[in-house]
Amino acid sequence: MFIYALILYLIIGTAIAFFATKRISTDEEYFIAGRRVGGIISALTYAATTYSAFMMIGLVGLTYLSGVGALGFELFYLVGTLMLLSYYAPKIWKMSKEKGLVTPGDLFTVRYGPRVAKVLAVVVALALIPYTSLQFVGISLLLSREIDFASGIIFSAIITALWAFLGGMRSVAWTDAISGVFMMFMAILPIFYAFQMLPDRDFSKLGELLYVPNSFWRYDVFIAYTLPWFFFALTNPQVVQRIFIPKDIKSLKRMVILFGFYGLFYTVFVTFIGLQLRLLTEYGVFPRISDRDLVMPKFLELLPPWLSVLVALSIFAAAITTADSIVLTLSSMFTRDLLNNRSVLAGRILVVLTTVAIAVFAIQRPAYIVDLAVMSSTILLCQLPLILGIFHWNFGKEFSAIVTLITGFSIAIFLYYTKLTLGIPIPVWVLIFSFAVFFLSAEIEKRFIVHT
Amino acid sequence: MRLFEALVVIIAMCVPFVAMKSSDLTAYIYWTLVSAAYLIFIALRRW
């Protein structure tokens, strides 16, 4: 039954992607839909890009394991995003329209020069290729009953590349919109099913899972989880690029508000599923599961077949929508920032090549893939001083920007593998180093480097 | 003003760490309400 539902979903998605191929003559049309997207579609593509398969698999499991702190962590991300978007999004949108920005790297080019955008493209690729390959791995595991692992990766890659290849941002945004609505419904239905399985609703049985700090959510753990996500709206290029797409300022504001409501409801629903499943475990109705990533798959086995298929399909949709958005953004950065090419054909070729690179990475299934994926948001924090510099500071140019990106990236990788953190969360170190290096190198640049 | 706003929201989001130790859904509901209130503030007052 899952295969039939999947085929139907793919037919609908591909039809939308075909329909969106019209009117693409420039790379601006291809990568940011000609800046003509309405507020509702913008909000849904922002949401579907942000909320990956992590929500229904990872966050349900994290809530099951650690309790309400998982909601706090995810809502900290949401209020941080609202805070940053309500202040910076109108400025970024206006700048993108006035200066014709297409890629997130263009923001950096305007202020720091084109070479910084090239370095950024490499840093972003190193951070996001492992993260995106994890989406493919997730899909492949979801399809493991139907096809083998390698075929699952190839299948995910084909769908991702096809939807982005055909219509670029327009097809990605429309398929994201359909998928986003579907994901929301499929987060609601399991709540009712789990609720009626409960013999009683005495949540006090969950004990320390109902408050923070507890044995999981210590202060340092909470900061380590929350800090990279708090700045996600400014540091993750696939969402930054979505600030360029609304057709006018009213649509941009609508995008932010609707995304906020989507994020709030989706987060509450998903974490409530996790809490209910843990309560079911305490009542002895649901098995005790130690591997948090297996909580949702186990729950799917208990759902009625039709609901299980639809929820699994929503997880598939979440993974694909995140993957194709990242692929499109990466290909735009490779095409425009790295290769200085403005043709749509080059963009399409880079979509295919980027997807192949992600698939090759995923198919190897290296042990460090999860580590790197978890690290992705932390690595991307090294951009923060540069982004704030665009709007708040006059100091710091090409030299400082490149040194900051390379140092911040290196510190993140070094600390993650050596664990020489002195008990301080890695994201805090990355932020401290990135800001310190930016300010210091800006001073050096001002005194010793003459820009022509 | 924006800095003050950010400070207030972050402090409000941190309250469960110091003031909510009950064995019910208080922290869960509190976080949801604070986020909703901030979202409504942005929707109605900011824009």
Of A348, A439, A332, A355, residue with least CA distance to A107:
A332
| Contact map slice: A 44-73 vs B, CB within 8 A | 68, 71-72
Is residue A198 within 8 angstroms of chain B, CB to CB?
Answer: no
pLDDT tops 80 at residue B13: yes
Q: How many CA atoms lie within 13 A of A320 on its CB side?
A: 37
The reply to whether omega before A304 is within 30° of 0 (cis) is no
CA distance A91 to chain B (A): 14
Q: Which pLDDT score is estimated for B43?
A: 92
Higher-confidence residue: B21 or B8? Answer: B8
Chain B residues touching residue A87 (CB < 8 angstroms): 2
Beta-carbon contacts of B5 under 8 Å, excluding residues fewer than 6 positions away, are: A83
- Pairs of residues, one from chain A and one from chain B, whose beta carbons lie less than 8 Å apart: 79
Chain B residues touching residue A79 (CB < 8 angstroms): 9-10, 13, 34-35, 38
3-state secondary structure of A37: strand
3-state SS of A90-125 is: HHHHHHHHHHCCCCHHHHHHHHHCHHHHHHHHHHHH
Is residue A221 within 8 angstroms of chain B, CB to CB?
Answer: no
Classify residue A311 by burial, with Cβ atoms within 10 Å: 0-12, 13-18, 19+.
buried
pLDDT tops 80 at residue B1: no
Query: In whole angstroms, what is the distance from residue A274 CA to residue A223 CA?
Result: 21
3-state SS of A270-324 is: HHHHHHHHHHHHHCCCCCCCCCHHHHHHHHHHHCCHHHHHHHHHHHHHHHHHHHH
CA distance B27 to chain A (A): 6
Query: In whole angstroms, what is the distance from residue A102 CA to residue A27 CA?
Result: 8
Is residue B41 within 8 angstroms of chain A, CB to CB?
Answer: no
Query: In whole angstroms, what is the distance from residue A29 CA to residue A46 CA?
Result: 18
| Contact map slice: A 226-255 vs B, CB within 8 A | 253
**What angle (nearest 5°) sits at the alpha carbon of residue A312, between those of residues A308 and A314?**
120
Query: In whole angstroms, what is the distance from residue A387 CA to residue B12 CA?
Result: 26
Domain residues of chain B, as ranges? 2-44
Chain B residues touching residue A211 (CB < 8 angstroms): 16, 20-23, 27
Please identify every stretch of chain A with a pLDDT value under 50, giving residue numbers as ranges: none
Q: Do B28 and A86 touch (CB under 8 A)?
A: no
CA distance A219 to chain B (A): 9
Q: Which pLDDT score is estimated for A224?
A: 85
Give me A174's structure tokens: 């429309």
Q: Do A86 and B13 touch (CB under 8 A)?
A: no
Is residue A78 within 8 angstroms of chain B, CB to CB?
Answer: yes
Burial A9-38 (b: 16+ CB within 10 A, else e): bbeebbebbeebeeebeebbbbbbbbbebb
Asked whether the CA dihedral A76, A78, A81, A86 is positive or negative, the reply is negative
Q: Do B23 and A211 touch (CB under 8 A)?
A: yes
List the single residue in A204, A213, A253 with the smallest CB-CB distance to B23: A204
CB atoms within 10 A of CB A423: 5
Chain A residues touching residue B31 (CB < 8 angstroms): 68, 71-72, 75
> Under a CB-based contact definition with an 8 Å cutoff, are residues A278 and A68 in contact?
no
Is residue B30 within 8 angstroms of chain A, CB to CB?
Answer: no
List the single residue in B21, B35, B47 with the smallest CB-CB distance to A211: B21
Chain A residues touching residue B38 (CB < 8 angstroms): 79, 82-83
Is residue A391 within 8 angstroms of chain B, CB to CB?
Answer: no
Asked whether the CA dihedral A166, A170, A172, A178 is positive or negative, the reply is negative
Query: In whole angstroms, what is the distance from residue A116 CA to residue A449 CA?
Result: 16
Q: Do A72 and B36 touch (CB under 8 A)?
A: no
Give me the phi and psi of A246, to 5 degrees please: -60, 145
> Under a CB-based contact definition with an 8 Å cutoff, are residues A56 and A270 in contact?
yes
Give me A341's structure tokens: 């090419």
Q: Do B47 and A72 touch (CB under 8 A)?
A: no
Q: Which pLDDT score is estimated for A107?
A: 94
Taking the model in full, what pTM does it have? 0.92
Query: In whole angstroms, what is the distance from residue B1 CA to residue B6 CA?
Result: 9
